[in-house]
């Protein structure tokens, strides 16, 4: 699934994956920045808590956005695929400046939203300028190829990751979250070995990638982002490795970016600011 068509790519909205556990009270830098790009206090934000099994997740974010000055923040209680046809929810997305997807289980997002009117509305509106943010599971769900699960560790292995179709807001990145905290470099490398076209983005907690139209990425937050670029890959043993065996990858490029750092997908160049 590719991003929704838009003849003028510069008009697309931001895609903002967050690594989870974002600061919400002391210095909510990431959420403040999201509010800013959405237009400030007058913005309208739709909150989608589908990934979470906790009943109060959406309401907690609604209260948080109101505390940040947003007057129009609304939880869309999408629990079933039938809910994705609710015309009131679709109308709210059509009028929104931003959508925020909470954490939880990304398979709950993909199996509930995948292929529905809500998913199509988010893709269409993002192509027209609406900004879409997601934390933890919400971040993993954003790209065409979604990491649905996997194992911890540093060395890639054929059975280290499970992939599933994602929302498709970008086909240039594969995203993993809680990256350093949960030792997920091996599973992101495994995902890239299966699909060397994409660039891997490993998000530490309280760290976000603000991906601008044209897929220029800027880091915001207190942690780091690991960029794994397989475009110069010269050798992979993925095709011959058995379950549990290590995989050899030669020619992979890795960058660590912190707040203010940038990565440009077209040139494949990273910079500290």
Residues forming the active site: 136, 178, 205
DSSP tag of 204 = P
Whether 71 contacts 42, CB under 8 Å: yes
Q: E strand or H helix at 57, and its extent?
A: helix 57-67
Burial group, residue 99, by CB count within 10 angstroms (0-12, 13-18, 19+): buried
Cα–Cα distance measured from residue 137 to residue 148, given in angstroms and rounded to the nearest whole number: 9
CA 252 to chain centre: 22
Cα–Cα distance measured from residue 32 to residue 24, given in angstroms and rounded to the nearest whole number: 9
Phi then psi dihedrals of residue 38, to 5 deg: -75, -10
């Amino acid at each position: 699934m590719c991003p929704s068509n838009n003849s003028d790519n510069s008009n697309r909205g931001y895609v903002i994956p967050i690594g989870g556990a974002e600061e919400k009270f002391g210095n909510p830098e990431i959420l403040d920045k999201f509010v800013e790009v959405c237009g400030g206090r007058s913005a309208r934000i739709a909150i989608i808590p589908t990934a979470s099994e906790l009943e109060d997740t959406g309401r907690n974010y609604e209260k948080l956005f109101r505390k940040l000055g947003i007057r129009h923040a609304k939880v869309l209680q999408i629990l079933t695929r039938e809910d994705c046809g609710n015309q009131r929810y679709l109308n709210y997305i059509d009028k929104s400046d931003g959508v925020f997807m909470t954490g939880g289980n990304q398979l709950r997002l993909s199996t509930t939203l995948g292929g529905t009117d809500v998913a199509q509305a988010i893709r269409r509106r993002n192509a027209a300028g609406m900004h879409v943010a997601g934390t933890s599971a919400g971040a993993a769900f954003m790209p065409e190829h979604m990491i649905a699960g996997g194992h911890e560790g540093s060395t890639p292995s054929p059975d280290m990751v499970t992939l599933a179709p994602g929302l498709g807001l970008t086909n240039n990145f594969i995203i993993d979250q809680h990256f350093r905290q949960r030792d997920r470099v091996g599973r992101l490398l495994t995902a890239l070995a299966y699909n060397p076209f994409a660039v891997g983005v490993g998000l530490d907690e309280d760290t976000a990638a603000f991906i601008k139209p044209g897929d220029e990425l800027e880091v915001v937050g207190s942690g780091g982002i690991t960029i794994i670029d397989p475009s110069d890959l010269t050798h992979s043993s993925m095709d011959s490795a058995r379950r549990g065996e290590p995989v050899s990858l030669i020619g992979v490029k890795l960058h660590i970016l912190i707040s203010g750092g940038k990565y440009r997908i077209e040139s494949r160049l990273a910079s500290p600011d």
